[in-house]
Chain A
Amino acid sequence: MTPLALFIAVFLACAVEAVEATTIVLAAGTARDWRSAFSGTAAAVVVLAAIVAGLGPALSAVPLRGLRLAVGGLLLIFGLQWLRKAILRASGHKALHDENRIFDDELAAARAAAHGGRFSVPDWYAFTLAFKGVLLEGLEVAFIALTFGTNQHDVPLAAVAAGVAVVVVAGAGVAVRAPLARVPENTMKFVVGVMLTSFGMFWGSEGAGARWPGSDAALLVVVPGVALLGLGLTALLRSPVPAPSTEVAGS
């Protein structure tokens, strides 16, 4: 895996989750209190950074074969989940992720909730909504960035890719003060699903004792092969009537 491929894989995965987290933070800030929403976001980022800082050295200490077996297995499960959802959405069997609708739902729920502050936070609801949204959406990304970075012996580059994605998406969200509905989220999810499935399959099999023909060069066949499989299944399952837009946040 080249440094550029590592950067793109982590950037895309992080950007998809950042779009969803940004929608939740914007709803919390718009309906309630911006200061509390930003405080919740900052607190979640600190917790995520602590998790990465704690797990990073621990993962580096695990023998490479065991790490590849465990991490490859988890990445393969994550990748198949992402790919499954992206194919179901692209083929019309599952509603596309509608950030505008999610934003409206979060806005209505935030406006209906009780007001009140705790500790030095003026609006506790806005704080916890932003905190939960960023932490939950960020956990998967932290895992992907850590495992890709550890396997490629380049955690700093993976961390930079994750950071750049967050800055770009959050910056765009704050600039327009609206959900980023025009981001091709499902296409990005499909690409990340292909990458996670391919690398999960490659590393998991190596960790389980398999030797790929051509070693790392096998990825040049595996990645396009998984992409073609996904595109083929999408074409096969394409439904003439698209599913109604009823997606909820985080799915």
Chain B
Amino acid sequence: MISAVGARLRAFLAFWYDFVVGDDWRVALGVVATLAVTYAASRSSTAVWWIAPVAVVVLLGWSLVRATRRS
């Protein structure tokens, strides 16, 4: 009974992990870090809009290079 509940809980959590995080957890973590840095930097400077575009170039490029090396 407990193991069945545990298996369902694991499947539920795995679904949400796959739904939100996807194939590359580093990208999700990078997005969270980018927005945190933007928020922290915006308290001392107004010109922080460029942080996310730079992060997108780095995160996407890095994730693709890792994926193509594996394939």
| Residue ranges of A at the interface with B (Cβ–Cβ < 8 Å) | 69, 72-74, 76-78, 80-81, 83-85, 87-88, 91, 93-94, 136, 139-140, 197, 201, 204-205, 207-213, 218, 222, 225-226, 229-230, 233, 237, 239, 243
Contacts and interface: CB of A to CB of B under 8 A. Distances in A.
Interface residues of B, number: 34
A210 B56 contact: no
Given A205-B48, A208-B35, A213-B49, A80 B68 contact: no
5 contacts: A88-B68, A210-B38, A210-B51, A212-B49, A233-B61
A211 B49 contact: yes
Contacts of B20: 74, 77
Contact of B19 (A93, A140, A204, A208): A140
The dominant DSSP class at the B interface is helix
A80 B31 contact: yes
Given A73-B35, A81-B24, A210-B42, 4 more contacts: A80-B56, A208-B36, A208-B42, A210-B51
A152 B34 CA distance: 24
Nearest to B63: A84
Contacts of B49: 205, 210-213, 218
Nearest to A75: B31
A226 B19 CA distance: 23
Contacts of A73: 31-32, 35
Contacts of B59: 80
B43 A229 contact: no
B67 A93 contact: yes
